[in-house]
Amino acid sequence: MQVTLVILKPSAVQRGILGEVISRFEKKGLQIVGMKMINLTDEVLKVHYSHLVEKPFYGRIKDSMQVSPVIVMALKGVDAVNVVRKITGSTNGRDAQPGTIRGDYSISVQENIVHASDSDETAQIELSRFFTADEIFNYPQLMIQNIYANDEY
């Protein structure tokens, strides 16, 4: 089982669609093993978006991500990174397929509702950035046999 990070951005918080977005992940069968609301500081954003800090649009990203608190979630499941990225859709909401979170709720490249880790390695780094070890829970998913075949988990 993989654990991956999802951030529900201020665009989701401000629009009041947190429940709808979270339910998409739950309905797919992903298990929420960590979740909290936080404010993103300048320091955290510089680290999280270190690959973009020198880009001319970094200021726009920083401003957008600090409009309100965000929800950070740790989601667990088989191939969770790939599954979450398929559910979220293309980064640019205008290009995202209908049926994905961004395809259904976004028409922007920036105000695109969610951030999702792009690899298992990135997920581990990002999870440790936003959660301590005792904030990610390992508990049985009681309906697991209704989510996966018995040889998948």
**Catalytic site positions:** 115
Determine how β-strand 31-38 pairs with β-strand 114-116.
Answer: unpaired
Rounded to whole angstroms, how far apart are CA atoms 139 and 49?
Answer: 31
Tell me the HSE value of 130 on the side-chain side, using a 13 A CA sphere: 27
144 HSE (CA, 13 A, CB side): 13
Distances (CA, A) of 66 to 10, 73, 121, 147: 7, 17, 26, 36
d(CA 145, CA 123): 26
Inter-residue contact 85 to 116 (CB < 8 Å): yes
